[in-house]
Amino acid sequence: MSTIPVQPPRCVLLDCVRTATEAPSLHNSQPWRFRPRGAMVDVYADPGRRLRVLDPSGREQLISVGAAVFTLRLAIRRAGYRSDVNIFPEPAEPDLAARVTLAHAAAPSTAVRALAAAIGRRHTNRWPFAETPVAADILDALRAAARRERAVLAVAHPAGREAILRLARSADRWLRDRPGRREELARWTAGGTRHDGVPRWAAGLRDENDAIPTRDFAESSSEPRRSAPFEPYPTILVLATAGDRWPDWIRAGQALQRVLLTATWKGLATTPISQPLEVPWARRMLLDPATGLSVQMVLRVGYGGKTDATRRRPIAEVLLPGPHTSAMVPAG
C-alpha cells in the first residue's frame, strides 16, 4: 500500500517536540536538539551536553536521544499520524541521530493513548518501593515493550539480582574516585534557576541497608542525605541489544522509554541504575558473553509513591531552525 505523505500544522509538530523533551536523560542533561521541517523532524545529539567523565563514548547520551525519539514518535502517533524513523540517515552528519517522517493520518488506538498518557506521569523515583512483587503479566508486558523496539529485557532471578546489585555497588564505589566525576556531578546538580540537571529534592533517599545503590545526586549538597530501608527484594530488569554501536544505542533508548512508559501505564515506579554500565569491567560481567547481547541499562521497578517532574528547557532552546523556517515558537 502506498502512503501519502502528510504535512501537519507546524504547531502540532512543535507540540510533539515539546512532549519529546519530557524523555529521561542522563543527569537530566537533555542532550538533544530538534529540527522540524515539513513532514519530518530531525533529531540531533548535542555534543556540548555529553557527560565526558561518566559517558566518554557517548553511549548514554545516545540512549537519552533514543528515549526522546521514541517519545516524539508516540506523540506524533497520539496526534493522529503514523511515522517512520530512520536512524543516522546522513552519514556526513554524525550528530543527526534520527529522522522521523510522518507517513499518513491514522487515529490513535486506546493503547497508544494510554501509553502516551504515561509520558507526563513518568518520573524517576529514588525512594523506597513497596515489598509487593510485580505481577507476572506486567513483567510480560515490559518484555514485550522491549521486543517491539528490537531489544531484550530480562527479569533478574534472585541470585542474578543479588549479583547485579553487588556489581552496581562496586561500580558506584569505583566511580566515586574517578578524576573529574565530582565536578561533573556538581555541574548537573547545581540547582538554582536552571531548566536542566537533577535538583536536590529529586535525589530521593539512600537505602539504609546499602543494598540498592541509587545514584547520590545530593553528594554536592551540604545537607546530609536522608536514608530509609528500601525494599529487600527489588525487581531488577536488564535491557540489552544485539549490537553495541551508535544505532544500537538509539534503539536501546527507544526501548528504554517504551519500557518505562509501559511500566508507568501499569502503575509501576522506575529507577534507572546505570553505574554498572559506566564501568567497563562491571558492564562485561553483567551478562554471559555467550548470549551475544550487550547490556544497555539496569532498571529497578516496583510500586512507589508519587514523584514530581524535573524541569525541562524551553522548547526554543532545543529547536534548530529549518532551511526555510525560523526557530520562533508561538507562545504557550
Residues at the interface with ligand FMN (CB under 6 A): 24-28, 60, 63-64, 67, 123-124, 126, 198, 214-215, 271-275, 310
User: Nearest approach, Cβ of 72 to ligand FMN (angstroms)?
Assistant: 15
Spatial distance between the Cα atoms of 192 and 113, rounded to a whole number of angstroms: 35
Nearest to 70 by CA among 152, 150, 153, 6: 150
Using the minimum distance from each CB to ligand FMN, give the nearer residue, 206 or 215: 215
Please name the residues in contact with 146: beta carbons below 8 A apart, sequence gap of 6 or more.
152, 153, 239, 255, 258, 259
Strand partners, 294: 241
Using the minimum distance from each CB to ligand FMN, give the nearer residue, 40 or 278: 278
Using the minimum distance from each CB to ligand FMN, give the nearer residue, 162 or 216: 216
User: Nearest approach, Cβ of 103 to ligand FMN (angstroms)?
Assistant: 27
Using the minimum distance from each CB to ligand FMN, give the nearer residue, 19 or 64: 64
Using the minimum distance from each CB to ligand FMN, give the nearer residue, 38 or 246: 246
CA angle 240, 50, 276 (to 5 degrees): 40
User: Nearest approach, Cβ of 86 to ligand FMN (angstroms)?
Assistant: 22
Spatial distance between the Cα atoms of 140 and 118, rounded to a whole number of angstroms: 18
User: Nearest approach, Cβ of 123 to ligand FMN (angstroms)?
Assistant: 4
User: Nearest approach, Cβ of 59 to ligand FMN (angstroms)?
Assistant: 8
Residue type, 286: L
Please name the residues in contact with 175: beta carbons below 8 A apart, sequence gap of 6 or more.
54, 181, 275, 278, 279
Spatial distance between the Cα atoms of 122 and 189, rounded to a whole number of angstroms: 20
CA angle 296, 77, 316 (to 5 degrees): 75
User: Nearest approach, Cβ of 121 to ligand FMN (angstroms)?
Assistant: 10
Nearest to 272 by CA among 187, 228, 191, 212: 212
Whether residue 155 contacts residue 135, with contact meaning beta carbons closer than 8 Å, is answered with no
Q: Helix H segments across 25-79? A: 59-78
Encode 100-131 in three state secondary structure. Answer: EEEEEECCCCHHHHHHHHCCCCCCECCCCCCC
User: Nearest approach, Cβ of 211 to ligand FMN (angstroms)?
Assistant: 15
Using the minimum distance from each CB to ligand FMN, give the nearer residue, 80 or 303: 303
* DSSP 8-state code for residue 290: G
Using the minimum distance from each CB to ligand FMN, give the nearer residue, 102 or 260: 260
Kindly state the cell numbers that stand for 169.
555497588
User: Nearest approach, Cβ of 68 to ligand FMN (angstroms)?
Assistant: 9
Using the minimum distance from each CB to ligand FMN, give the nearer residue, 81 or 169: 169
Spatial distance between the Cα atoms of 157 and 163, rounded to a whole number of angstroms: 10
Which residue has the CB atom at the shortest distance from ligand FMN? Answer: 24
User: Nearest approach, Cβ of 120 to ligand FMN (angstroms)?
Assistant: 10
Using the minimum distance from each CB to ligand FMN, give the nearer residue, 83 or 124: 124
